[in-house]
Amino acid sequence: MTRREVLAWLEARRPVPPDALRAGLEAAVTGAELSPTVPLPDQLALLGRRVLGRVVGRPAGGRELALELLVADAFITYAFEAQSEVDAAGLAALAERIAGSER
């Protein structure tokens, strides 16, 4: 999916996330290289993993990382929401892909 498509999908979410969270989501999408061939659920999960990777890369970080953790969590949650919109039967497979990428 393109950045524009991902951002449009995020903008359509209800309830609307708080401003700081929305800004973090938008910044992560804007700063990422997205592949047009990767389906939305996988793209969102990948974005979440990238943000989480930045947090994990700063083990001495403190409260200043809280918003990034929320952004990572939101992307993973949205990945499952997007998958349920496309094909709820694929939720388990998405979970396996996400878990498998940790190994």
Residue by residue, pLDDT tens for the chain (103 residues) are 899 999 999 999 999 999 999 999 999 999 999 999 999 999 999 999 999 999 999 988 889 899 999 999 999 999 999 999 999 999 999 999 998 865 5
> What's the predicted TM-score (pTM) here?
0.92
Range of the domain at 95: 3-100
Number of domains in the chain: 1
Alpha-carbon span 103 to 94, nearest angstrom = 15
Closest CA to 70 of 83, 58, 52, 54: 52
Going by the DSSP 8-state scheme, the letter that residue 3 receives in this structure is H
Q: What is d(CA 95, CA 80) in angstroms, rounded to the nearest whole number?
A: 8
SS3 assignment, position 17? coil
C-alpha 48/C-alpha 19 separation (Å) is 18
Tokens 């990948």 sit at which residue?
Answer: 46
